[in-house]
Every structure is written in C-alpha cells, then in structure tokens.
C-alpha cells in the first residue's frame, strides 16, 4: 500500500470540466487519493466546494457547476 497524492491546478480542472463535466472533477478530488496538492485559486475553491458537496449534494453540484462554467468562459476570453 502506498500514499497517493494528486496535484491539481486550475487549467487541469477547467479542461476536465469542459470535456467530462462536473462529476469527473468530483471524482478527481475524491477517488483513489490520500492527499491533494492544489495550485491556484480555482482549484482551492473547488476543493472547499467538494466538502459542501459531501454534505449537500444538490447545492454542491450547483455551486461547482456555476464556478466551473464561469472559469471556462473566462479562459476562452484569454
């Protein structure tokens, strides 16, 4: 058995959201990982919203989707 850490940055989750949707992001933060190393304000905010999702799935999905949609649109503009 090993210790599984995952590095997550803003560009990575924006691309994941565009290609696979919010559930892929939730799984990336929660499945098969012991520690997360977050890089960027978006990935940190999503990390906090994942905890909300674990308590209140409906509200968590809504907030994650809103934030990711906004971030995706902003990335297109750049």
pLDDT tens for each residue of the chain, 78 residues long: 789 999 999 999 999 999 999 999 999 999 999 999 999 999 999 999 998 888 888 998 999 999 999 998 887 765
Residues 6+ apart with CB under 8 A from 50: 26, 29, 30, 60, 64
Could you tell me how many helices (H) and strands (E) the chain has, helices first? 4, 2
The answer to whether the beta carbons of residues 44 and 38 sit under 8 Å apart is: yes
Instruction: Give the predicted TM-score (pTM) of the model.
Output: 0.82
Q: How far apart, in whole angstroms, are the C-alpha atoms of residue 10 and residue 54?
A: 21
């Amino acid at each position: 058995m090993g210790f599984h850490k995952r590095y997550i940055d803003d560009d990575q989750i924006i691309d994941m959201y565009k290609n696979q949707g919010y559930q892929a992001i939730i799984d990336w933060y929660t499945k098969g990982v012991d520690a997360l190393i977050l890089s960027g304000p978006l990935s940190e905010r999503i990390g906090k919203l994942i905890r909300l999702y674990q308590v209140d799935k409906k509200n968590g999905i809504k907030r994650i989707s809103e934030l990711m949609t906004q971030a995706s649109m902003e990335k297109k503009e750049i």
